[in-house]
Chain A
Amino acid sequence: MDSSINENPSPTRPRWRKVAYGGMQPGFDDNHTDETFLEAMVMNANVVKRSMLKVMQDSVSISQYLCIVALVVLVWTCTLRSTLNENTLLLLDVSLLGLGFLVLILTAEMMSLNLLFHYFINISFFTTGLYVSAPIYQTLTRSISSDSIWAVTVSLLILHLFLHDYSGSTIRAPGALKNPNLTSCISLNASVVASVFIASRLPSRIQVFAIMLFSLQVFLFAPLVTYCIKKYSFQLHLWFSFGLMVLTLAFVYMLHRLLFVLLLGLLVFVTVVCPYWLIRIQEYKFEINGPWDEAKLCFDITE
């Protein structure tokens, strides 16, 4: 029979057992809470202890991308005010393309001539396509007022920054593991639409082509380039980001004082305040695991 473990005739009652069969256990109420209650509970098993320095270094990716977007907006403002003319823009485009290619060649582990040729062909197709469709962009928003354009562009850029994938690149680097997820595709599309809206405000066809090429180059390929730099050497990544931040702050200072203060505040918030806040609230983390958890299948279900 399954009733008691110890057989001695002394008046001590049998030990309580964590079983459901056999009816009420003699000597114990149904609401008896044993010392073994919650013995198998495991707390915070998968929680990673973070250090302030590492989180600050990781947040540099975010501030670096913020600076890149700030530089793009700067170029847009200068072009719309006619401070930059189309030849300067075209020169800027070509030099950025060249720099990007250089970084890819220097940092890639396996770069064959075939792959390089493949990239070059793609870029040529891309540029030709943009040149041919520049007249469409030029007349696209002629009937919409400028205020709506600025408002939509700003909201799209904010959406782009919110949903951007800061750890990887939506355009897949050679050898990348994961497919891009939905939010990073949405953010990329938002940035492309914002570029189209800005380009449609410009008067001449060459300007439209130059600004579209510039914006698309940066939004599509800058994450790829920074990802390659980060993969190659973390120190180089930190120095590059620092240089970029100083450059951006200098340019914005020359343009507008208030925006400079705002940008500086935002960068300090992202790099210093947010990591501190994250580490402070981590002590409230309470992850519970135990025998009541639904079992996880250790194999993948192939449909």
Chain B
Amino acid sequence: MTGRLKVYYIPWKPFLMQNTLPTFYGTLPIMRTILIREKISLVHGHQAFSTLCHEALMHARTMGYKVVFTDHSLYGFADVGSIHMNKVLQFTLADVSQAICVSHTSKENTVLRSGLPPEKVFVIPNAVDTAMFTPAPEKLSHNEIVIIVISRLVYRKGADLLVEVIPEICRLFSNVRFIVGGDGPKRVRLEEMREKNSLQDRVEMLGAVPHARVRSVLISGHIFLNSSLTEAFCIAILEAASCGLLTVSTRVGGVPEVLPDDMIVLAEPDPSDMVRAIRKAISILPKIDPQVMHLRMKKLYNWHDVAKRTEIVYDRALGCSNQNLVDRLSRYLPCGGWAGKLFCLVMIIDFLLWRLLQLWQPTEDIEEVPDFSLPNSECPEFKEDGSLSLR
């Protein structure tokens, strides 16, 4: 793929919402083959709910590779599901070289859930492709104010707040229109709200919007409304700001850290406070210039910068000392009275299986991929403003 990126497809069948069943040691042979074949030096796993990620990191550590983990979401502590997931996370992060979180609030949450020392966790936020999300060429008129909502219509993303807020705003401001993009289980409630309040001409429901069309939906509006109940880092807000929209969002999770105070209006996740925030946004809307906002976003967020910072983390991780099995086991024991011993057992079995695999399928038999370089005419290059160009 572009830029010498390779994708391997592991043929496990997903059983629920693109998740595969955890198989503990099932992925060991194929992981070992891929890591040796490609001469990998470091394994970077993402997302705490991915079973493939946890297994891959476990096998990589057994085989002696350095490991980096990125956590992308916030999670609670109190219910049964959370307690289990946090224990699994504690297992994976007990022996990780470095960790990355996408916001400072996410760092606090991950440190509390996994018991990692805070110095091991780096905060590298996501960025946005500003070249793709450019504002509309001509500024929209302010006779009619359009508020855009694009999100999955689920409980977690605050669809119920939308059901309370939209009729109230339509009642208070006669020149405000809503465009709601996205689909989900709560779409029925929004349609019902629309019918009950006769807002068919003021609320437009677009259904699921493919990613390529998001920009065209965004540039048709003035304000972007985000009502999520929990958010580690909200890329949707960045895309909206890059298109020159003023954002109104709930003050949850990492959202207050994402944009400067003059580009976002924050509200508590409560319908009356959100109405107040939208009122304030409408009043400051004349002062907003989409082009100026877009240029600011180009300087604030840059994938090139994210890559550079991630490379620093990789260098740090590669500089960590190698440890043999016994030293590593001592890191698992403090995880808990029963859990520590169980984790040690899991790692010992993994180690034994790996040795068995080495005997059965020796390293020399695995063919390594030769280094190749593309001819110069096809080499892609990053320009200073973060956009990608093919020479």
Chain A residues packing against B (C-beta within 8 Å): 2, 18-24, 29-31, 33, 37-38, 40-41, 287-288, 290-295, 297-299, 301, 303
Contact = CB atoms under 8 A, between A and B. Distances in A.
Nearest to A16: B104
Contacts of A2: 260, 300
B119 A33 contact: yes
Interface of B: 74, 76-78, 102-106, 108-109, 111-112, 118-125, 156, 158, 160-161, 164, 189, 229-230, 233, 250, 252-254, 257-260, 269-271, 299-302, 305, 309, 312-313
B118 A21 contact: no
B259 A292 contact: no
16 contacts: A20-B102, A21-B125, A21-B260, A23-B300, A30-B123, A30-B124, A30-B309, A31-B120, A40-B108, A41-B108, A291-B105, A291-B108, A292-B105, A293-B76, A297-B160, A303-B189
Given A37-B108, A291-B105, A31 B123 contact: yes
List the 10 shortest-distance A-B pairs measured between CB atoms, nearest first: A20-B125, A295-B269, A292-B109, A294-B230, A30-B122, A33-B118, A21-B300, A295-B229, A20-B257, A31-B122
In this complex, the member of B102, B103, B104 whose beta carbon has the largest number of chain A beta carbons within 10 angstroms is B104
Contacts of B252: 291, 294-295
A298 B270 contact: yes
Contacts of A19: 257, 260
Given A18-B257, A292-B105, A23 B302 contact: yes
A295 B230 contact: yes
Contacts of A291: 105, 108, 252-253
A38 B119 contact: no
Given A288-B77, A297-B160, 11 more contacts: A2-B260, A2-B300, A21-B301, A30-B313, A33-B118, A40-B108, A287-B78, A290-B109, A291-B105, A293-B230, A295-B158
Nearest to B192: A303
Chain A's interface: helix, strand, loop or mixed, by majority?
A: loop
Contact of A20 (B123, B250, B313): B123
Nearest to B104: A18
A29 B118 CA distance: 12
Contacts of A30: 122-124, 309, 312-313
Nearest to A294: B230
Contact of B161 (A37, A38, A297): A297
A292 B256 CA distance: 12
Contacts of A23: 300, 302, 305, 309
B121 A31 contact: yes
Contacts of B160: 297, 301
Contacts of B76: 293-294
A20 B103 contact: yes
A246 B302 CA distance: 78
Contacts of B233: 20
A295 B301 CA distance: 27
A38 B312 CA distance: 25
A22 B300 contact: yes
B108 A20 contact: no
A267 B276 CA distance: 58
Contacts of A20: 102-104, 123, 125, 233, 254, 257-258
Contacts of B104: 18, 20
